[in-house]
Each structure stands twice: as structure tokens, then as C-alpha cells.
Amino acid sequence: MSLPRVLSFHLILMLSAFTGAADGYYNSGWKECIYSSHDLSDMVMIVNYIFNKDVFLQFNSTVGEFVGYTELGVKNAQRLNSDGTAQQERAEVERFCKHNAKNRQSAIADKTVAPQVKLSSVNPAGSRHPAVLMCSAYHFYPQRIKVTWLKDNTPVKSDVTSTEELPNGDWYYQIHSELEYTPKSGEKISCMVDHAGLKKPIIVDWDPSLPESERNKIAIGASGLVLGVIIAAAGLIYYKKKSAGRILVPT
Ligand SMILES: *[C@@H]1O[C@H](CO)[C@@H](O)[C@H](O)[C@H]1NC(C)=O
């Protein structure tokens, strides 16, 4: 495809700016493909020709032809609309915009990464309830996600606070939701997370028994206690045996 003549014309203008004029001239041009529907049916292509920040000539694929906004733009629009360039640009919607959008869609937009879900207990300071649970979903894409709290498999809405989906800065997102509650015996609390990357929602039930690190601390403490008791008992037995062997001599 040959470059539209208007662009090469301004490239010459730019050269003259570089060869000594005090104020520079700025010529630029860009092509944009705008769409929001997944099937690309609303694709619009815009080609702008800009001189010193003013658009003087534009091709808008919805309009279907070049439109000029200055005397120079109007002159060029007439030429480009009659010499076959406008026809070429109309075909660019398929060849350039839709072709690239399809590739991007399959390589980026349609990719999903399922979240990893963690349920933990947090300090209830400042809460009206004695217990606060936090459900965190990490490393998911795309942004849209649904975090729901369940009490005995029934969704709860009250006493729930959640962050937005927070961007990690590496394409992935994370979100954190807190539930304030008053523990009841036999009640099952769960966090349910649904996301495009999942075949069915992840449901994590809260296990109110102590976490492993706490269990380890208790085990270490208990072994210490047992050891101490054994040593103390051995000492006592030794002492008793020794004092039993001694004969008291009357004075
Ligand atoms: C393209 O043209 C259509 C129809 O005139 C208009 O609605 C739309 O806003 C134009 N797009 C741009 C970016 O100028």
C-alpha cells in the first residue's frame, strides 16, 4: 500500500522545521481501532492527520470517507476520496483492525487465571462482633470476581466489608473480604469465590480448630512440662533414698 501523499508532504515540512526555524512544526498521524463488543461488530477505525496538534484530516470508518477540517485538509480529502484511498481504508477495518483485535482477544482478553483462595482469622479489634474472618483471593485474571460469605450454606450480606479488586501491577488482581460475626456452636461459615477461570465456585469452610503453628507451640510446651515433671520426680526419689539410708545419732 502506498503512503497517502498528504503524509509525505508533511514529512517534508517537518524536515524544514529541523533545518533552522526557531519554532518547530509537529506533524503526526495515528490510526485507532475502537471496539467494545466481543464479536467486534462495533469496530470503528479512525485515522487522524495532525499538524501542530490540530486534526486537519480524518478518516472515520463509520463515515466511510475522508473529511478535511482546514483548507489543506479539505483539498486532500477530495483527492483521497476519489483516488481509491478511501476505499482502501474502508477495507482496513477488516484487514487491520479486526484481524489484530482477534489476535489480541485470544492472546490476552480471553485468557483467564483462576484465583487462589485463603481463609484466615483476623484481630477483631474495633468490631462489634467477637470474631472477624478474612477471605482473600489472589492472582486472578480478569478483574471480575464474586466473593460471597455463607452461614450454613446460606449467603450473608450484613457485616461484610470488601476491598475493590486490587491490581497487582502484573496483570493479576487480588481482593479481600471481611466477615464480622459472633461464633455459634455447630454453625458452618464458608467463603465462596466465583470467577471466569473456574468451572465451579471455590468454597472454603472455616476450620475453627487451632492452626498448625499454634498446635506446635502447645505440643512443645506440653513436652517441656512432662520432661520437667519426670526430672523433678527422679530428684525426689533420689533424695528420699539418700535420706532413708542415713542413721540419726542421738546427742
Ligand atoms: C465517527 O463517526 C460517527 C458517525 O458520525 C460518530 O458517531 C463517531 O463519534 C465518530 N468517531 C470519532 C472518534 O470521531
Is the model's pLDDT at 210 over the cut of 60?
yes
In the reported structure, the alpha carbon of residue 60 is separated from the centroid of ligand 1 by a whole-number distance in angstroms of 7
In a shared domain, residues 68 and 151: no
Residue nearest to atom 6 of ligand 1 (CA): 62
> Higher confidence at residue 23 or residue 107?
107
In the reported structure, the alpha carbon of residue 225 is separated from the centroid of ligand 1 by a whole-number distance in angstroms of 80
Mean pLDDT lowest among 7-11, 192-196, 218-222, 232-236: 7-11
Q: Does 210 reside within a domain?
A: no
pLDDT at 19: 45
Q: What is the mean pLDDT of residues 80-86?
A: 96
> Higher confidence at residue 4 or residue 176?
176
In a shared domain, residues 43 and 136: no
In a shared domain, residues 47 and 140: no
Is the model's pLDDT at 89 over the cut of 50?
yes
In the reported structure, the alpha carbon of residue 33 is separated from the centroid of ligand 1 by a whole-number distance in angstroms of 12
pLDDT at 244: 76
pLDDT > 70 in the chain, percent = 87
In a shared domain, residues 83 and 136: no
Instruction: Domain count for the chain, please give it.
Output: 2
Q: What is the mean pLDDT of residues 125-130?
A: 85
In a shared domain, residues 125 and 78: no
Instruction: List Cβ neighbours of 19 (8 Å cut-off, separation of 6 or more).
Output: none
Q: Which atom number of ligand 1 is nearest to the Cα of residue 60?
A: 1
> Higher confidence at residue 14 or residue 45?
45
Q: CATH number for the domain including 146?
A: 2.60.40.10
pLDDT at 218: 86
In a shared domain, residues 39 and 89: yes
In a shared domain, residues 98 and 19: yes
Instruction: List Cβ neighbours of 192 (8 Å cut-off, separation of 6 or more).
Output: 147, 148, 149, 150, 155, 201, 202, 203
In a shared domain, residues 143 and 200: yes
Residue nearest to atom 5 of ligand 1 (CA): 63
Confidence band, pLDDT 50/70/90 cuts, at residue 247: low
Q: Does 148 reside within a domain?
A: yes
Lining ligand 1 with CB less than 6 A are 44, 46, 60, 62-63
In the reported structure, the alpha carbon of residue 9 is separated from the centroid of ligand 1 by a whole-number distance in angstroms of 26
Confidence band, pLDDT 50/70/90 cuts, at residue 16: very low
In a shared domain, residues 44 and 62: yes
Instruction: List Cβ neighbours of 80 (8 Å cut-off, separation of 6 or more).
Output: 4, 6, 57, 59, 66, 86
pLDDT at 11: 36
Confidence band, pLDDT 50/70/90 cuts, at residue 5: very low
Confidence band, pLDDT 50/70/90 cuts, at residue 141: very high
Q: Does 26 reside within a domain?
A: yes
Q: What is the mean pLDDT of residues 156-183?
A: 94
Instruction: List Cβ neighbours of 54 (8 Å cut-off, separation of 6 or more).
Output: 69, 70
In a shared domain, residues 180 and 140: yes
In a shared domain, residues 72 and 93: yes
pLDDT > 90 in the chain, percent = 67
Residue 140 and residue 156: Cα distance in Å, rounded? 24
Instruction: List Cβ neighbours of 97 (8 Å cut-off, separation of 6 or more).
Output: 33, 35, 40, 43, 45
Confidence band, pLDDT 50/70/90 cuts, at residue 22: low
Q: Does 16 reside within a domain?
A: yes
> Higher confidence at residue 249 or residue 185?
185
Q: Does 152 reside within a domain?
A: yes
In a shared domain, residues 99 and 123: no
Count of alpha carbons within 13 angstroms of residue 10, beta-carbon side: 19
> Per-residue DSSP letters for the chain?
-PPPHHHHHHHHHHHHHHTT-SS---EEEEEEEE--STT-TT-EEEEEEEETTEEEEEEETTTTEEEESSHHHHHHHHHHHHSSHHHHHHHHIIIIIIHHHHHHIIIIIT--BPPEEEEEEE--TT-SSSEEEEEEEEEEBSS-EEEEEEETTEEE-TTEEE---EE-SSS-EEEEEEEEE---TT--EEEEEEETT-SS-EEEE---SPPHHHHHHHHHHHHHHHHHHHHHHHHHHHHHHHHHHPPPPP-
The residue segments making up the domain with residue 164 are: 116-205
Q: Does 244 reside within a domain?
A: no
